[in-house]
Structure 1
Amino acid sequence: MRKQFEWREDNKVELLVDGENFFPVMLAEIEKARYSLLLEFYFVSSGVITSRFVQALIRAAQRGVMVKLIIDDFGSYRFSNADRDVLKAVGVEIVVYNPLHVSKFTRNFARDHRKLLVADQRVAFIGGTGLSDVYWLADEAGCPWHDLMAQIEGPVVTDLVSMFNELWQRCTAQVLSPGGSVEQKGYSKVRVCTVQGLYQQDIKASFLKRVNSANNNVWLMTAYFLPSFSMRHALRRAAKRGIDVRLIIAGPHTDQPWVFHASKRYYSRLLKAGVRIFEYQPRFLHAKMSVVDSWASIGSCNLDHWNLRWNLEANIELHDEQCLEQMTQLFNDDLLHCQEITYENWSKRPWHRRLKETLWAWISHLVLKIR
């Protein structure tokens, strides 16, 4: 088990909301890169926005930039061979994490769910996006997906490089340059926090610590709400002692309807304890963000059973007044597009909805028992 990353001072963090805002900035940094580009994405699907990234990476490689790309085998099954081949032809190195194979049995469940871009070991982007038109363009109702990325400059970028290099070495046995020191850029105090399946769950442990010591508010935004018992217990305890506990959860627009129904099994006890639950209505809420008092976390982890059991995940935690204001404003703006679930209305839902929730909750429980 790797040691935990330390808090880093003097960073600059900016919250970027939705693909229309973060994709152009990410592409601009790729175009500016002169030395190295490190990319790690779970969901990669060929299409309009991915083609823009492919062409930008080709241009970077042709001007001599070292380009390394880690993609998850399951998450990238719609990333065409044609796109992969044109990247490889110009020298882009692609690593496929944990290729699927029937002989691996349950080890096939272990996925790289992280989302990361580092340009010249100078600026990084981390959050919930993939490279897909569902974050950019889509014909289906409820799209494009609502998601977040954080743009980071400063000393903490060296830890994100270290995290990438560690996985690259694990997959290839190649040791990449650790890079040099990164100059101070701002006033944010930032820490990289990770999950590596059951072996390391820093993100969960850190969130629970903050919730258990909260003084004012616990706000959580997540796409898939299948929290562990310890998380449910912590949220209920916080609400009972008067903390403002609010959850924004994906509503009817979702890519995993079974999770939407299975998650309902947890509503009653949380609502009884005073936790306020809001379901996001306009489109699929894919963002993963939490704000507890003056602390915040953003990244790839949904804090659900599946993420914490099987996946590689990466978040950043931060203390930054300006970024906290951005996150607070976003949370309040998104509440305007939510339907609040009250205990009174929830207890009156029809029997067929209760049956569907019970069925999917039972199935999810069985799945999580898989070893």
Structure 2
Amino acid sequence: MLLIVAIVILLILYFRGVFREKHHYQVRNLPPPTVDNFAFTVACLSDSYITAGQVAGFWIEADQIYAARLEAIRKAQKVIQFETYMMTPGRRADEFAAALAERAQAGVRVQLIADNYGSQSMPSGYWQRLQDAGVEIEFFNEFSWRDLTHHLKRNHRKLLLIDQHLVMIGGAGISDEWDGLQTHGSSSPWFDYEIAFEGPLATRLRGIFLQHWMDAGGIADLALDPLVLTSEHEPQVIITPGEDPSYRDSEIRSLYQSLIQSTQYRLWIASPYFLPDPSSRRVLFEAKRRGVDIRILTMGKTCDKPFVHYTSRELYGYLLDGGIEVYEYQKSMMHAKAWLVDDHWVSLGSANFDPRSLFKNDELNISTSEPTVIPEIEAFFQQGFANSYFVNRQDWQRRSFVERLIGQFCLLFFWQL
């Protein structure tokens, strides 16, 4: 009996990739972020699109984020397209539904993609009310017995498109969770952001949205929603869609490792679920040895997934030994995903620095060098650091036996976290 159990466990670990050969993707002499061909080089290496756009707004925490989204929705005249991972019943979901329904009844075309797993707590009556108002709804990757493992792939994007010109992305789902409200040990709002862009990138992102719309079973009617080419004489933007990644082919991994290897003096990374794979850890150490100031802003004890927090902490020893600084946010759940590269580029969007975002989920990041957004993101990081616990090795070594046990056990399933 014990032999059978052991064989089953080994098979599970095998198919989960525990014994997978560890690849290190090596690129030398990447151009620094200041040179003209930087964006083109990164886009080529990460299967990304180069387009143009300018920042039209930046908001922090729930009240600002949801107010900005609702204002944009209420101003829509032609089409609203939205996709998200997490939706839960509550005030935020009701406000969102009311705004979408009002615009749909006014003749605006409204399309909503909800991740099937992330929105599973929503009652059927919620969707019915939206559909009765004229909102078109599709669910991403619904469960099917025909392919059980495929159901593990999730749509983690948060993308709002308004009238073919305004784009909003960030980390917040449609949920009261982001308000805090005594959830996960804190009443403070989750630390997150939303950013808006205008310009030609809207057309690119609408094309990416329509790909998901068709994947989910919807029809892309280009007579109703033509993809219009517009002038691109605006600041450069890199769009990295992170579409159906695999261990060997991940656009987000390539983007992140390219940013690490190109940075010259500063790399600040915000990721609540921080579990860099061995190859990514290696390039982080190489950058630190070049003298780069590397700081990680991640979630602390107040979090929605304590087991991920404990697992992440098991990797801190390697980082601290290499001189990489780790900051655990204390006020509430830290949910932001952001990269600041020197004083020149930022990468923002839905992707964490973990195996699920790099190798499992459909993600979406936008990277830009527009000067106006750099100080906004720098101030966001400084606010995060100021409200964080700076991890030192002595305290880390004194973590409890239970925390160590949970972390070590979950590391067995590293590639699924």
* TM-score, structure 2 as length reference: 0.83
1:219 shift after superposition: 0.6
1:53 maps to 96
User: Which runs of 5 or more structure 1 residues have no equivalent in the other structure?
Assistant: none
- Work out which of the residue numbers 157, 164, 167 in structure 1 matches 2:202: 157
Aligned-partner Cα distance in 2 for 1:156–1:188: 11
2:191 maps to 146
Counterpart amino acid of 1:157? A
Residue 260, structure 1, aligned to residue 309, structure 2: yes
Partners of 2:170 and 2:349 within 8 A in 1: yes
2:12 maps to none
Counterpart amino acid of 2:333? F
1:315 maps to 365
- Work out which of the residue numbers 250, 256, 264 in structure 2 matches 1:201: 250
- Work out which of the residue numbers 4, 10, 14 in structure 1 matches 2:57: 14
Give the structure with higher Rg (CA): 2
2:14 maps to none
Partners of 2:138 and 2:218 within 8 A in 1: no
Counterpart amino acid of 2:228? G
1:361 maps to 411
1:137 shift after superposition: 5.5
1:303 shift after superposition: 2.2
SS in 1 for 2:150: helix
Q: In 2 relative to 1, CA 72–360 (structure 1 residues): closer, same or farther, beyond 3 Å?
A: same
Partners of 1:281 and 1:339 within 8 A in 2: yes
- Work out which of the residue numbers 339, 351, 374 in structure 2 matches 1:301: 351
Q: In 2 relative to 1, CA 7–103 (structure 1 residues): closer, same or farther, beyond 3 Å?
A: closer
Q: In 2 relative to 1, CA 220–13 (structure 1 residues): closer, same or farther, beyond 3 Å?
A: farther
1:103 shift after superposition: 4.2
Aligned-partner Cα distance in 2 for 1:296–1:216: 14
1:290 maps to 339
2:377 maps to 327
Q: In 2 relative to 1, CA 352–77 (structure 1 residues): closer, same or farther, beyond 3 Å?
A: closer
Residue 180, structure 1, aligned to residue 228, structure 2: yes
Q: Provide the identity percentage.
A: 28
Q: In 2 relative to 1, CA 322–366 (structure 1 residues): closer, same or farther, beyond 3 Å?
A: closer
1:271 maps to 320
1:182 shift after superposition: 4.8
1:350 shift after superposition: 4.8
Q: In 2 relative to 1, CA 82–202 (structure 1 residues): closer, same or farther, beyond 3 Å?
A: same
Partners of 1:221 and 1:248 within 8 A in 2: yes
SS in 2 for 1:291: strand
SS in 2 for 1:316: strand
Q: In 2 relative to 1, CA 148–176 (structure 1 residues): closer, same or farther, beyond 3 Å?
A: farther
Residue 342, structure 1, aligned to residue 392, structure 2: yes
The CA RMSD over aligned residues, in Å, is 2.1
Q: Could you give the per-residue CA deviations for residues 239-268 of structure 1, whole angstroms, max 9, x where no partner exists?
A: 122110000110011111110111122111
1:203 shift after superposition: 2.0
1:169 shift after superposition: 2.0
User: Which runs of 5 or more structure 2 residues have no equivalent in the other structure?
Assistant: 1-43
Aligned-partner Cα distance in 1 for 2:352–2:127: 29
Residue 135, structure 1, aligned to residue 185, structure 2: no
Q: In 2 relative to 1, CA 347–129 (structure 1 residues): closer, same or farther, beyond 3 Å?
A: same
Counterpart amino acid of 2:282? H
Aligned-partner Cα distance in 2 for 1:358–1:170: 37
Q: Could you give the per-residue CA deviations for residues 271-318 of structure 1, whole angstroms, max 9, x where no partner exists?
A: 111100011111001110011111111111102112222211001011
Partners of 1:49 and 1:136 within 8 A in 2: no
Partners of 2:272 and 2:335 within 8 A in 1: yes
Counterpart amino acid of 1:109? L
Partners of 2:355 and 2:416 within 8 A in 1: no
Aligned-partner Cα distance in 2 for 1:176–1:120: 15
Q: Could you give the per-residue CA deviations for residues 173-208 of structure 1, whole angstroms, max 9, x where no partner exists?
A: 622334324567x95321211212434522221121
- Work out which of the residue numbers 72, 76, 93 in structure 1 matches 2:119: 76
Partners of 2:140 and 2:215 within 8 A in 1: no
* TM-score, structure 1 as length reference: 0.92
Residue 191, structure 1, aligned to residue 238, structure 2: yes
SS in 1 for 2:353: coil
